């Protein structure tokens, strides 16, 4: 369980994280979603005690990171795969980490095995491809067999195989009952990986909910209608007050479902060649949500709290 | 010409040249001011040479700047972008060395005349007019030495490709190896006479007119056997040879 | 603390820098001693002749010690370090200790190696024997000076967080600043008398009649300067974002 309360961080004039509160539940994969520069990495650094918050706090199982005894046994994290001395071997990198938290030396070989780096364990980390570095970072995160895991954009720059591997890996970790907190700027990726979503934009919370609810809420539901003569139907729809968009031969209707449109078509005696529900693009919806999140928030400042903007899931 | 412009843009769009320039000027001129402020007629009279005591400060900082100009390219792999844009590597490196050397020379002139100027301001009663050839060399020569030293530093930077290594080699050579060599019995002094920075120092400290100053009232005089201008030529020759080696190496190596 | 020391030991020795710096420090120092011995004529060689090159080793070790911390910042492994050891004071103290011990060992090997080299080349009369307290300080004392200098280097490296800057400061200060201040008319000598590396040199070479501190007092002063800088570094590291 990770809990952020009123977390705030400013770098000079830049307000990177702004009064951010959320919680990451145990035993699930929680996605941390926001466009580039939203403040995800900064938040993760504050959770790990690397950056000192300007205000608020982040607690892991009720404790500040700095107060954890042998923290690698509680929290494993991969913030940046390049945080390795390029002239040190993968094994040496894990060895010193293991030693610092009094983890048995054989654990190094175990995690190398888990991430599939045994064959290159004695090679310089500087020569690793991004995928290999990422695996080394995950090995480091797993060293202390921690209950809580943080990953910052772990699939960035990986090939499809690597992405799939990481996604499965996250699921496995959550199935083992661990708390997994993983950030991304891609909603499509998070929709596949995460069960819960914490969404931020420009340092502020936009929503916390289950992924399902967020996706349902975020994507616009439309219906595509195609037929030889749609004029009558179009005016009937117009009278019903729904919005209509022309897309080539067909109409895209939002604000009315297939059943109601079908009834309307029967009443106006329109021949239909197609009547199909459409899901809007996730990314489009996400961009709309976060793109101008500041404006979004001034709008709701005296209205409901951000968390209820999108109804909390479950 | 285009290449010079390219290298000028590259140099001035990073922060380290600005910092180094500032530090070089502050240290050198500041030391000049200190010397002028604390000078006293009969114990430590202020002379033109004495205003230039701090010139080695600027020299080492300028060499650090010059080395960084190339080693940071290796560190951030922008050297690859450079060689993609200008596949003729010697040309690219010559352009860089030229720009860095010119900047270093300008810093040297400002540092030297700045030190001299501040001393004049602080002690208007002391005669600090630059008259003799020696006095001109002692002040204006600083820029020449800085410029050529910058070429040496760029060459070392190209050869080592590593900031820490290049800086350590340059500073330890300049400030430790050359003076310590004198401690070797018998041959030490003979070797020292031909070491490059000692030779360069001859331009600034060599051939003083004994009627104008005590030899010791200025930067320690060089014991190089060449005259001031041949000494500068020898130093330039050393820089050219070292830079030539760097060009050959850079051409052969993978970028 | 032993765990942290072991951690830092692994970190230091799994990069190449301690190896090449040990190699360079010993090569330059002992090599210089060899040159001195080979070219010597006239008068017997004394212990001090064998230690002429010790400053080479000192400067190389200083660079090594600064790099031990600045490379952590450069490659952001400092974050991995503080993630594993959130108590930054302990982490930095452990690193400083390991680096200082290595520096001290290099110093001892360099000093005794130089002395032994001269002895082997020259045969060595009674003047070359290490007998008096001053002789012992000059040779065995090198390790102490190297170790304390390494503490200064780690502290400066921590404060500056940048290899080029830290190395420039650490080389320009003892080689140039400490010497040039002497030139300041009037106050120059008094300032010079309290310059840390100058004072450390008096511990090795004897304080001389005008020195304000005794030999051991000089070493203590040098150590105090290192302690103050280390304290500043610890304060900075706890205040700053990693
Ligand atoms: N160390 C820092 N110093 C100054 N600004 C920073 C620093 N770290 C992050 N920022 C700024 O804070 C904002 C959030 O950055 P970041 O947390 O990296 O976003 P994300 O990880 O979501 O892409 C950005 O505007 C970034 O420029
Ligand atoms: Mg980020």
Domain regions of chain C by residue span: 2-239
Query: What average pLDDT does the segment B13-20 reach?
Result: 86
* pLDDT at res. A277: 81
pLDDT cut 70: percent of chain B above it = 95
* pLDDT at res. A290: 66
Least confident segment among A71-85, B63-77, B212-226, C159-173: B212-226
- Residue of B158, B2, B148 lying closest to B67 (CA atoms): B158
Going by their DSSP bridges, the two strands A196-201 and A2-11 should be labelled as: unpaired
- Those residues whose C-beta lies under 8 Å from the C-beta of residue B59, and which sit 6 or more positions away, are B108, B145, B146, B149, B174
Quickly list H helices, B39-174.
Answer: 48-51, 55-75, 78-85, 89-122, 133-160, 163-172
- Minimal Cβ distance to B176: which of C42, C59, C177: C59
Whether A243 shows a pLDDT value over 60: the answer reads yes
* pLDDT at res. B8: 87
Higher pLDDT, residue C109 or B45: C109
* pLDDT at res. B211: 58
Best mutation site among C21, C83, C237 for testing chain A: the one with the most A CBs within 10 Å?
A: C83
Higher pLDDT, residue A129 or B221: A129
The Cα of C184 is separated from the nearest Cα of chain B by a number of Å equal to 6
Higher pLDDT, residue A82 or B45: A82
The Cα of C54 is separated from the nearest Cα of chain A by a number of Å equal to 29
Query: What average pLDDT does the segment C44-71 reach?
Result: 92
Domains of chain A: 2-217 (3.40.50.300), 220-279 (3.30.70.1510)
Least confident segment among A79-88, B9-18, C8-17: B9-18
Whether A293 shows a pLDDT value over 70: the answer reads no
pLDDT, tens digit, for every residue of B59-102? 999 999 999 999 999 988 888 888 888 888 999 999 999 999 99
Whether C165 shows a pLDDT value over 50: the answer reads yes
pLDDT cut 70: percent of chain A above it = 87
* pLDDT at res. A26: 92
Whether A314 shows a pLDDT value over 90: the answer reads no
pLDDT, tens digit, for every residue of A82-126? 899 998 999 999 999 999 999 999 999 999 999 999 999 999 999
Considering Cα of B38, then B41, then B47, then B50, what sign does the dihedral take? negative
CB neighbour class for B184 (10 Å; exposed up to 12, middle 13-18, buried from 19): buried
Whether B218 shows a pLDDT value over 90: the answer reads no
Contact in structure between A79 and A150 (CB atoms under 8 Å): yes
Least confident segment among A88-97, A219-228, B222-231, C222-231: A219-228
Confidence of residue A301 (pLDDT cuts 50, 70, 90): very low
Higher pLDDT, residue A254 or C103: C103
Whether C202 shows a pLDDT value over 80: the answer reads yes
Query: What average pLDDT does the segment B178-183 reach?
Result: 90
Rounded to two decimals, what is the model's pTM?
0.84
Q: How far is the CA of A44 from the centre of ligand 2 (A)?
A: 9
Looking at ligand 1, which atom is closest to the CA of residue A203?
A: 14
Whether B145 shows a pLDDT value over 60: the answer reads yes
CA–CA dist A122, A126 (Å, integer): 12
* pLDDT at res. A270: 87
Higher pLDDT, residue A179 or C130: A179
Confidence of residue C71 (pLDDT cuts 50, 70, 90): very high
* pLDDT at res. A103: 94
pLDDT cut 90: percent of chain B above it = 53
Higher pLDDT, residue A284 or A130: A130
The answer to whether the CB of A37 is under 6 A from ligand 1 is yes
**Contact B175/C53, CB-based, under 8 Å?**
no
Higher pLDDT, residue B96 or A294: B96
pLDDT, tens digit, for every residue of A52-94? 999 999 999 999 999 998 999 999 999 998 899 998 999 999 9
CA–CA dist A199, A211 (Å, integer): 10
E strands in chain A: 2-11, 14-24, 29-33, 55-60, 75-78, 148-152, 179-184, 196-201, 204-210, 221-226, 243-247, 250-254, 274-279
* A253 strand-pairing partners: A223, A244
Looking at ligand 1, which atom is closest to the CA of residue A45?
A: 17
Whether A313 shows a pLDDT value over 60: the answer reads no
Whether A237 shows a pLDDT value over 70: the answer reads yes
- Those residues whose C-beta lies under 8 Å from the C-beta of residue A73, and which sit 6 or more positions away, are A101, A103, A144, A145, A146
- Residue of B149, B153, B151, B142 lying closest to B228 (CA atoms): B142
* pLDDT at res. B35: 84
* pLDDT at res. A297: 41
Compute CA A144 distance to the chain's CA centroid, rounded to the nearest angstrom.
Answer: 24
3-state helix, strand and coil shares in percent for chain A, rounded to the nearest 5: 40, 25, 30
**Contact B185/C36, CB-based, under 8 Å?**
yes
- Subunits close to A (at least 3 CB pairs below 8 A): C
CA–CA dist B48, B138 (Å, integer): 8
- Those residues whose C-beta lies under 8 Å from the C-beta of residue C196, and which sit 6 or more positions away, are C152, C178, C221, C222, C225, C226
Whether C197 shows a pLDDT value over 60: the answer reads yes
Average predicted confidence (pLDDT) for chain B: 89
């Amino acid at each position: 369980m990770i809990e952020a309360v009123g977390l705030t961080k400013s770098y000079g004039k830049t307000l990177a994280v702004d009064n951010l509160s959320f919680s990451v539940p145990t035993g699930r994969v929680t996605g941390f979603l926001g466009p580039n520069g939203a403040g995800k990495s900064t938040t993760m650094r504050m959770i790990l005690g690397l950056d000192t918050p300007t205000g608020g706090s982040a607690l892991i199982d009720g404790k500040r990171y700095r107060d954890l005894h042998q923290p690698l046994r509680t929290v494993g994290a991969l913030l940046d795969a390049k945080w390795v001395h390029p002239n040190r071997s993968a094994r040496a990198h894990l060895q010193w980490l293991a030693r610092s938290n009094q983890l048995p030396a054989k654990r190094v070989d175990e995690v190398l095995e888990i991430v599939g780096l045994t064959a290159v364990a004695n090679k310089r980390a500087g020569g690793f491809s991004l995928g290999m570095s990422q695996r080394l970072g995950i090995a480091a995160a797993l060293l202390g067999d921690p209950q809580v895991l943080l990953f910052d954009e772990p699939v960035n720059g990986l090939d499809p195989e690597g992405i799939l591997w990481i996604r499965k890996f996250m699921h496995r970790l959550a199935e083992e009952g661990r708390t997994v907190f993983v950030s991304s700027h891609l909603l499509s990726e998070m929709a596949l990986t995460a069960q819960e979503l914490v969404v931020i934009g420009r340092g502020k919370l936009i929503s916390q909910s289950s992924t399902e609810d967020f996706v349902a809420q975020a994507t616009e539901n439309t219906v595509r209608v195609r037929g030889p003569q749609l004029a009558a139907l179009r005016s009937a729809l117009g009278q019903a007050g729904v919005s209509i968009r022309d897309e080539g031969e067909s109409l895209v209707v939002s604000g009315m479902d297939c059943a109601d449109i079908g009834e309307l078509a029967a009443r106006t005696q329109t021949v239909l060649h197609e009547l199909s529900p459409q899901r809007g693009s996730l990314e489009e919806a996400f961009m709309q949500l976060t793109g101008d999140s500041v404006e979004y928030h001034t709008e709701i400042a005296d209205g409901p709290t951000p968390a209820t903007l999108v109804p909390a899931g479950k | 010409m285009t290449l010079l412009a390219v290298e000028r843009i590259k140099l001035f769009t990073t922060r380290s040249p600005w910092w180094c320039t500032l530090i070089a000027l502050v240290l050198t001129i500041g030391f000049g001011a200190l010397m002028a402020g604390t000078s006293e007629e009969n114990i430590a009279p202020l002379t033109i040479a004495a205003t230039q005591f701090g010139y080695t400060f600027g020299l080492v900082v300028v060499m650090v700047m010059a080395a960084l100009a190339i080693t940071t390219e290796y560190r951030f792999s922008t050297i690859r972008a450079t060689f993609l844009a200008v596949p003729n590597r010697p040309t690219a490196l010559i352009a860089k060395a030229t720009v860095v050397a010119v900047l270093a020379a300008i810093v040297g002139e400002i540092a030297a005349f700045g030190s001299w100027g501040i001393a004049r301001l602080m002690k208007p009663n002391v005669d600090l007019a630059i008259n003799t050839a020696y006095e001109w060399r002692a002040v204006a020569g600083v820029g020449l030495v800085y410029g050529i030293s910058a070429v040496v530093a760029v060459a070392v930077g190209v050869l080592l490709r590593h900031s820490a290594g290049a800086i350590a080699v340059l500073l330890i050579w300049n400030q430790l190896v050359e003076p310590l060599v004198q401690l070797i019995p018998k041959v030490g002094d003979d070797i020292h006479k031909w070491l490059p920075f000692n030779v360069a120092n001859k331009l600034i400290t060599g051939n003083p007119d004994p009627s104008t100053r005590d030899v010791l009232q200025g930067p320690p005089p060089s014991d190089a056997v060449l005259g001031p201008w041949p000494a500068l030529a020898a130093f330039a020759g050393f820089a050219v040879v070292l830079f030539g080696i760097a060009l050959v190496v850079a051409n052969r190596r993978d970028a | 603390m032993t765990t942290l020391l072991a951690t830092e030991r692994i970190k230091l020795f799994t990069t190449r820098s301690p190896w090449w710096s040990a190699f360079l420090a010993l090569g330059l120092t002992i090599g210089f001693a060899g040159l001195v011995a080979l070219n010597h004529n006239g008068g017997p060689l004394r212990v001090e002749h064998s230690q002429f090159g010790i400053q080479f080793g000192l400067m190389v070790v200083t660079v090594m010690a600064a790099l031990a911390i600045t490379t952590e910042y450069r490659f952001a492994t400092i974050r991995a370090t503080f993630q594993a050891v959130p108590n930054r004071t302990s982490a930095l103290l452990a690193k400083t200790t390991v680096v200082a011990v290595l520096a001290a060992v290099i110093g001892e090997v360099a000093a005794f190696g130089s002395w032994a080299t001269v002895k082997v080349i020259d045969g060595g009369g009674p003047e070359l024997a290490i007998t008096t307290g001053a002789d012992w300080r000059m040779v065995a004392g090198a390790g102490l000076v190297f170790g304390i200098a390494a503490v200064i280097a780690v502290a400066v490296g921590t404060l500056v967080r940048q290899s080029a800057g830290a190395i420039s400061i650490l080389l320009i200060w003892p080689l140039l600043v400490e010497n040039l201040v002497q030139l300041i008319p009037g106050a120059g000598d008094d300032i010079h008398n309290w310059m840390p590396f100058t004072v450390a040199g008096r511990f090795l070479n004897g304080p001389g009649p005008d020195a304000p501190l005794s030999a051991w007092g000089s070493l203590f002063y040098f150590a105090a300067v290192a302690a103050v800088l280390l304290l500043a570094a610890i304060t900075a590291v706890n205040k700053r974002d990693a």
